[in-house]
A = this chain, B = another copy of it.
Amino acid sequence: MTTDEENLAVAAHRRCSVLLRRWLSETHTPVRGGPLRLPLGPIRLHAEVEYVSPTGAHRFGPIRVVDAEDRPLAIAEPGLLSAALSAEARARAVADATINAADAGSLVDWALRSTGERDAELDPVGAGVRESTLHEQLREGAWTPPRILESVTDGAEAERWLSKHVETELLPRLCALESPGEEATASLLSSGVLAAIGVLGRCGVADERDLLAVLSAQLDAFTDSHPELDPLLRSWLTGPTVTDVAVVNGSSLRYRSRSGEIRPDPVLHEIANPLRPFNAASPRVPGVPLPELGEGWSLRPVELTGDDGGPDAALVHEWMNTEHVAVNWNQAWSREEWHTELATQLGGSHSLPCIVSLDGRRIAYVELYRVERDKLAGCYPRHPRDLGVHIAIGDDAVIGRGLGSSLLLAVARGLLEADPECPRVVAEPNVHNAASIAAFAKAGYTREREVGLPTKNSALMVHPR
C-alpha cells in the first residue's frame, strides 16, 4: 500500500468510528474496553474498544464485519456501515415513522456527501466529539480543535486551557442567551465543551475525569453569582441526562431536509450526563417496595426453594419459554439460567421478581425495578425514586380479556401508594409491540417519548402520580 492509500484507510476508519460512537450513544449501549460485538441488521460488527470515554468519545481499533464465528469478512467501510445502521434504524422504528418514509434518505446519503471532507468535517455526528461544531462554537477563541492539540500537550495544560475557555468563552455566551434550554445544552455543553473534553481524552492528552471535575467546579461556582442561570446550570451539573443532537436513529428523524438537500436533520435526544457523578451524591434509593394490588389481585415475590429453585422457578421458566412471551422478552432460557437470574434479582436492590395471581390463579410474572439502577437510567430525565415495571402474562388462557391493563393499573396504583416519594411508574415496551403499548395506555400510562436501547427502540410509557 502507498502512503496515500494508508492515509485514505485511516480516514475511512475515522468515519466508521464516528458512526459507531453515535450508534452506541443513541442506543444507550454500555461500552467497555476490549472486543465489542454488535449485530447490525444484515451484518455483524466486531470492534476493538481501545479507549472508553465518559463523554462518549470512545476510540476504536480495527472495526470489521465478521461471520457468526467472528472470522473477518470485510473491513468496516463508512458506506457499508452507514447502510447497515440505516437498515437497522429503520427496522427498529415503526412502519409509519418518518425515517421509513419514501423520501427520508439514509445515512448512506451522509456517507456519500461526506466523502472527501477532511478533518473537522469528517466528524459531524460524534456524540460529544463533534469537532466541527466545536470549531464553530469556539471559533472566536484563538484555537480550533487541531490547534488545541498543538498547544495543549499534557493534562495540566489541558486543565488550564479548559478553565480559561470556560471563563472567557462559555460563561459569557451562556449569559448572552435569551432562552437557556435544550438547544443551549446541545450546542454549548454536549457538542461544545464536553466534545472538547472528549477529544482531549481520546487523543491521550488528559484524563477526562480530571477535566470534568474542573468544569463542574467552575460551573458550580458560577451559579451563586448568576441565579437566573441556576436551573440550567443545576441540570447540567446534576441532571441524570443531558440533551444531545441525534443524527443516526429515532423515529422522528428525517434524513432529508425539507429543502430537498440530503443531510442528516438533527433531532434532540438524551444521553447520560458525564458531569453528574461529580456533583450529585449517589441518591440513597431504597429497594423496590411490595405493592398491594386489591380487587382480587395478589402479588408476592418469587420464592426459591430446593436445589432447582422449586415451583416458582419452574413456572417462570415455563412461561418464558411459551411463544407469546418469548417473542417479546427474548429470554427463553434454560431452567438453570432462570434459577440463577431470579436468585440474582432477589439478592440485589435493582429489581424484584414477582408472581401475580388473580382470584388465586397464578397468571403473570412481573419485575418491579428502580429506574435509577436500571439501563433506562441514562435514557430520560428520571427522578431517583422512579419505579419501573416489566410484565409477562404467562397464562395464555387469560390473554385478550383486558386483564393486562387492569393489572398494569393496579400495579401503578399499588407502587405509588407503597412509595409516597415515587413520582411516576414507567415501562418500556418495544415500539413494535402495539398490543402492549395499548394495554399500558388503557391503564393510564402516557407515551412520552421513544428511547433507544441496545436491542430495541422502546416507547417510554409513564404513569404519573
A392-431 interface bits toward B, Cβ cutoff 8 Å, 1 = contact, 0 = none? 0000000000000000000000000000000000000000
- In the complex, which residue of chain B has the Cβ closest to the Cβ of A64? B8
Contact B73 A115 (CB under 8 A): yes
CB of B116 within 8 A of CB of A67, answer yes
The answer to whether residues A74 and B112 also contact, given A1-B1, A79-B81 and a CB cut-off of 8 A, is no
Shortest Cβ distance from A263 into chain B, in angstroms?
A: 12
Is A77 in contact with B112, judged by CB distance below 8 angstroms?
Answer: no
Asked if A43 and B112 make an inter-chain contact with CB atoms under 8 angstroms apart, the answer reads: yes
Chain B residue contacts of A74, Cβ below 8 A: 8, 11-12, 115-116
Are B65 and A83 in contact, with the CB atoms below 8 A? no
Docked-complex contact A116 and B79, CB < 8 angstroms: no
Chain B CB within 10 Å, residue with most, of A42, A79, A111: A79
- Select which of B5, B12, B80, B116 is within 8 A of A78 by beta carbon: B80
Residues of chain B within 8 A (CB-CB) of A116 are: 43, 65, 67, 73-74
Query: Which chain B residue shows the least CB distance to A62?
Result: B5
* A115 to B42 CA separation, bound complex (whole angstroms): 9
Q: Does A102 reach chain B (CB closer than 8 Å)? A: yes
Bound state CA distance, A62 and B6, in angstroms?
Answer: 13
A77 surroundings in chain B (CB, below 8 A)? 12, 77-80
Say how far A102's CB is from chain B's closest CB, in angstroms: 4
Cβ of A9 within 8 Å of any chain B Cβ, yes or no, is yes
CB distance from A378 to the nearest CB of B (A): 30
| Chain A positions 142-170 with a Cβ under 8 Å from a chain B Cβ | none
A83 contacts which of B1, B12, B73, B79 (Cβ < 8 Å)? B79
Interface assignment of A87: CB less than 8 Å from any CB of chain B: yes
Asked if A246 is at the interface of the complex by the 8 Å CB criterion, the answer is no
Measured between beta carbons, the chain B residues less than 8 angstroms from A6 are: 1
Q: When chains A and B are docked, how far (Å) is the Cα of A244 from the Cα of B184?
A: 58
Q: Does A113 contact B (CB under 8 A)?
A: yes
Q: Using a CB-CB cutoff of 8 Å, which residues 93-152 of chain A contact chain B?
A: 102, 108-109, 111-113, 115-116
Taking a contact as CB atoms under 8 Å apart, the answer to whether A9 and B75 are in contact is yes
